[in-house]
Structure 1
Amino acid sequence: MAKLYFRHGAMGSSKTANALMVEYNYYERGKRALLVKPKIDTRDGKTVIRSRMGLEKEGIFVEDLVEMEDSEIKKYDCVIVDEAQFVTKEQVEFFTHIVDDLEVPVICYGLRVDFKHELFEGSKWLMAWADKIEELKTVCWCGKGANCNARIHNGKVIYDGEQIVMGGNETYVSLCRKHYLEGNLGNNEKKEM
């Protein structure tokens, strides 16, 4: 039976690398997995899905997936969504259609919360509707589990601003809740931008 999965983790928890490895596992077994990401994420090229480790593969946009005919989607053994925090409620509803009606599993990877520690729209609805929710772990500079995505500006943690600002290690760092609330970057101090 197909399921909707939400695999979430803070920045640096290898979400994209995991997504690419799962796609490769399907390929190795002679199966087809479709990689997708929201249009808002164009950091690595139009439809390139790239991990910080350098793994990458072409995919399609979520917006194009929802325009596909059901018969086209059924040709795939799995749909893998990267940066799922950026999808809309309607797109998560479409994922449930793929799972429930087309019987194709959908595995979503993304952040659970933003730099203010508030849910993204996509994450909110995946938390509500996913059949299976899993946390991918990463650690704070202190060694505790990190579940906060701190936004950095001028070497300091900031708590105000637009919810979505694309960036990587130069803009975000994962911290445990204590160090996030303290604004303590420890040995992860970022250079002035």
Structure 2
Amino acid sequence: MAKLHFLYSVMNAGKTTHLLQVRHNYIENGGHVLLFTSPIDDRFGVGKVRSRIGIEADATVLRKDEAIGAIVAAEHARKKVTAVLIDEVQFMTAEQVRQLAWIVDELGIPVMAYGLKNNVYGTLFSEAIQAMMALADDFQEIKQLCHCGRKATMILKFDPNGEAVRSGPVIEVGGESRYVSVCRPHWTKGDIGPAARQLLAEAVAAAE
């Protein structure tokens, strides 16, 4: 039975690597996979999904005004779709997430949506994630560690002085060096950890 899967994590936990491995497995077994991504994150080019270890794939760019249900249904009528994979689901709209549920229920196609559950301010990332939490059949956390060794469940944004940022825009594409994944206690304390502090010190030294 097809299901709507939500695979979530903090930053730099390997979501994209996992997604691309799943895609590879489907294709290797003769599957027809549709991969969608957001136009917001275009660091590697529009319509490119690339992991931090260098593997990548082309994807269909899904804009907020597009109906993913109609897109998938049209392709499914042309050629049977085995699975739908979503990169960065947090950038979709709530209506598009509801359409993902429709794809599962009415077309019988499994959907695996990958994304961030929380934003840097300790709330659900977006209305799309609220909808995903309500509608998904299956939840899988892709785990990452805090600098203390506990499981990282939060994302901490920090300024050039290493101080936690508690206000401002949620999205800053390309600013990965200003984010660190931490456990809740260290998120509350604003403690970015020794590795992040070392990187900041090296950046300051290089700029001098």
TM-score by length of 1: 0.93
Report how far residue 99 of structure 1 moved.
0.5
- Provide, for residues 77-121 of structure 1, a one-character-per-residue CA deviation record: whole Å limited to 9, x for no partner: 000001111111110011011111111111000000100011122
Report how far residue 148 of structure 1 moved.
0.6
Q: State the match for 2:61 in structure 1.
A: 61
2:105 aligned with 1:100: yes
Report how far residue 34 of structure 1 moved.
1.3
Say which of 79, 82, 86 aligns to 1:81: 86
- Equivalent residue runs for 1:178-189 within 5 Å: 178-187=185-194, 188-189=196-197
Say which of 148, 152, 158 aligns to 1:152: 158
Report how far residue 9 of structure 1 moved.
0.4
Say which of 137, 145, 150 aligns to 1:139: 145
Which protein shows a greater Rg?
Answer: 2
Q: Which amino acid aligns with 1:68?
A: I
Q: How much identity, in percent, do the aligned residues show?
A: 37
Report how far residue 36 of structure 1 moved.
0.7
Q: State the match for 1:16 in structure 2.
A: 16
CA distance in 1, matches of 2:178, 2:52: 14
Q: Which amino acid aligns with 2:130?
A: K
Report how far residue 61 of structure 1 moved.
1.6
Partner-residue secondary structure (3-state), 1:173: strand
Q: Which amino acid aligns with 1:83?
A: E
Say which of 144, 153, 166 aligns to 2:173: 166
Q: Which amino acid aligns with 2:59?
A: G
CA distance in 1, matches of 2:6, 2:72: 24
- Provide, for residues 127-184 of structure 1, a one-character-per-residue CA deviation record: whole Å limited to 9, x for no partner: 1100001111000011000011111221222111112221353121101111111111
TM-score by length of 2: 0.87
Q: CA RMSD in A?
A: 1.7
8 A contact 2:94–2:129 mirrored in 1 = no
Report how far residue 39 of structure 1 moved.
2.0
- Provide, for residues 45-92 of structure 1, a one-character-per-residue CA deviation record: whole Å limited to 9, x for no partner: 100001111111100023366252613135320000011111111100
